[in-house]
Every structure is written in structure tokens, then in C-alpha cells.
Amino acid sequence: MTVLELSTVSKRYGQELAVDNISFQVEEGRIVSLLGPSGCGKTTTLRLVAGFEVPDGGDILIRGESVRRKRPYERNVGLVFQDYALFPHMSVEANIAFGLRERGVPPAEFLARIRSVLDLVKMPDYGKRSPHQLSGGQQQRVALARALVTQPSLLLLDEPLSNLDAKLRDALRVELRQILTSAGITTIIVTHDQSEAMSLADHIIVMNKGRIMQRGSAEEIYSAPASKFVADFIGQSNWFTGRLDGGRFVTEDGLSLVIAGKAPSGAVELGIRPERIAVRTKSATAAVGVNALEGVIEKTEYLGSTIHHWVRFANGRRIHAVVQNNGQCFARDGESVRVEIRPEDCLLLTPDEPDPSEPRDDRQSIYTDGLAEREQRKVS
């Protein structure tokens, strides 16, 4: 069942189009992340769903029903903000009970429901404490419990882990996903942190400048980015500009690589993920592949589990490669090496346009009442 549907939704602040004609659906029990750089429209999208902002165009449906005319508290949506927004003068239990009282749940049910969510967030013994007696991670879990206790149709999390230090964030990420999946709650998480989106969400929607650039699983987006923007936002790449010549990608300064698969027509950019590049020393016995380039290690960074190399070719061009530290000896600065790239690891992409396969309703301009227009379209 579809819990949330956004249909050609737009939001403008003055001259600025914060959300530009976006459409997506979220199915029951799914965890979806809105991922993108600062200012791309993630929070505005979340606020539109929550009812804190009104769209200029399009419609938002929760469980098949338009919520355009519903106030935030009528939408059955739970919210967790990055600053948790717990009431400092209330105990954990009272904080959690607040939402129940607001929604008219009979007080006789309070205790059982509070216990159940405190168990869910693994804090059964913390009900009597004040927020200031909790760590950042525990406060975050109480905020989550407070949102979950009302059994919302949809949970909205805005950068839920950004106030925590890096180590705690990594640990809580795993725990948060486990809590959300065991509660079976349909969730939207807003984040600008790609690893957070990749580890927490089943489905990622990458946004830029108010538009959806691509959507898919973490693996789909990483291994088959639809544009240079997505490839750069999710992970790193070495970029080359050139043209296609038969089954090869050729640059003006003489780089020529065999490529695999279908490529977009016209001038293209070629991206190569650093970890997909093999760096072989002269003594390596492995057979030479189709894309083998001679170079010299210009710089090396030893980062423990990985080793980063910057290799310079004879034409002066540099490439960044990341190799796993498997305990065997690795190439050193100044050493001559052979760099190898498999044709299937050459990502041929157009510049920063949204994915052309993204559904868009180009008939629609910004209008003041999307609902009226939607109804009109249904009739015509």
C-alpha cells in the first residue's frame, strides 16, 4: 500500500523555487531518504508533507487522501527534528505522554504505550529521568519514542543524527534502522550525509536545486549514477572530458580507453571510481588488461584500511586510486606503476541534468491551487 504520494509538488519562496515539480511515492514500511546538498529542498519537502508549509502546486496524499487542507496535527505524521526538541522541565515519560494527550488518547492507555515505546528504543528504565540527565544519543531515542508512541502513519526524521559525534552517529545509525524496521514504520529521513542515507534507507531520492536527480537503492545510485552530479555527490570519481570513437573514449590529450555498454551521444564525461582502479607495480605478474596506462606514483596517503595513490601519466594528467590494504607491500612515491581500469568501470555520463527517466509533468507551471487543477484534469 502507498502511504505517501507527492504529485508534481512545487514550493516557491519569493523568486526562489525551493521544490520544483517533484513526484514520488513511499510504500508501507519503507524507509526512504531525501539526500542532497544544503539548500536542495529536502527540509522544505519534509515540511510540506508535515503540513508546516503549503505547496504552490501539486498535491500530497497520505493513505490515498489529499492532506492539502489538513493541519499538521490532523495528518497523523510523527516528527523528529535534529535538535530533538524535548521539553527540558518534563521527565522522559511526560515528554512521551505529551503527544498522547494532544491526540486525545485515554490516560488509562498511557502507561502501556509509554512502556512499549521505551522498550522499543531500548530505554525501559529511563522513564523518570529528565532530558538533561541523558546523553545526546539517549535524547535522540526519547525523541524517536515520543514520535512513535502516537502510532503515526508516517514518520519524518530531519537530520536525526547530525547533533551526535561521529562514533555515536555510526552506532546509532545501525540501532535506528533496527528500531524502524522492527516497528515496521514508514519513514522519510532527510540527510545530507550519503553514508547515513545508504545505511539507513531502502530507497534513496537524490535532490539538487529543488529537483529529483535520481532515485533507487544505495547500490543502484552508486554503481549506475544518472549524472555527474549524482556520481560526485555519492562517492568520488576521476573525471575526463572527451568524445566517443567506436567502442573507445578518447580525450584531446591522448587518453584512450575501451568502454563497455551503451553510452549517451555527443560529448561526454567519463568518471572512474578511485576504488575501481588497480595499481600494479612493475613486478606484478597479473595479465595486462585492455585499459593499462603507465604512470608514476606522485603521492601516497596511508589511511590504515585503505591506501590512496595519485598517479601521474606521461601527459601530465593525474588519477586518484584507492587500494585496500591487504597487508602486502604497496607501491611507493616515485615508483613506476601500471594503472588498470576495466571497461565496465568507465561511467559515461552527461553533465548535471536530472535523470531523463524521472517522471515530470511539464504541462504544469506553478499554480496556486494544485488540487483544483488536479480535479480539473481528472474531469477533462
The residue ranges that bind ligand ATP (CB under 6 A) are: 13, 16, 18, 36, 38-44, 192
Comparison of 129 and 192: residue with beta carbon closer to ligand ATP: 192
Residue 45 CB, shortest distance to ligand ATP, in Å, is 7
Residue 26 CB, shortest distance to ligand ATP, in Å, is 18
Residue 73 CB, shortest distance to ligand ATP, in Å, is 20
Comparison of 192 and 342: residue with beta carbon closer to ligand ATP: 192
Residue 348 CB, shortest distance to ligand ATP, in Å, is 29
Sign of CA dihedral 203, 208, 209, 213: negative
Residue 173 CB, shortest distance to ligand ATP, in Å, is 18
Phi, psi of 373 (to 5 degrees): -65, -40
Comparison of 29 and 39: residue with beta carbon closer to ligand ATP: 39
- How far apart (Å, rounded) are the C-alpha atoms in residues 197 and 218? 8
Chain centroid to CA 180: 17
- Only one residue has cell 549524482, namely 230
Residue 60 CB, shortest distance to ligand ATP, in Å, is 15
Comparison of 6 and 97: residue with beta carbon closer to ligand ATP: 6
Residue 43 CB, shortest distance to ligand ATP, in Å, is 3
Comparison of 76 and 162: residue with beta carbon closer to ligand ATP: 162
Comparison of 150 and 191: residue with beta carbon closer to ligand ATP: 191
Rounded to the nearest 5 percent, the helix, strand and coil shares of the chain are 30, 30, 40
Residue 54 CB, shortest distance to ligand ATP, in Å, is 12
Comparison of 157 and 278: residue with beta carbon closer to ligand ATP: 157
Please name the residues in contact with 379: beta carbons below 8 A apart, sequence gap of 6 or more.
Answer: none
Q: What is the DSSP letter of 299?
A: E
Comparison of 185 and 206: residue with beta carbon closer to ligand ATP: 206
Reduce the DSSP state of residue 140 to 3 states and report it.
Answer: helix
- How far apart (Å, rounded) are the C-alpha atoms in residues 169 and 171? 5
Please name the residues in contact with 131: beta carbons below 8 A apart, sequence gap of 6 or more.
Answer: 84, 86, 87, 88, 90, 92, 95, 139, 142
Comparison of 68 and 192: residue with beta carbon closer to ligand ATP: 192
Question: Order of strands across the sheet with 65-66?
Answer: 16-27, 2-13, 57-62, 65-66
Closest to 351 (Cα-Cα) out of 201, 226, 212: 226
Question: Order of strands across the sheet with 248-250?
Answer: 256-258, 248-250, 238-245, 268-272, 347-349
Residue 134 CB, shortest distance to ligand ATP, in Å, is 25
- Only one residue has cell 603507465, namely 294
CB 58 within 8 A of CB 6: yes
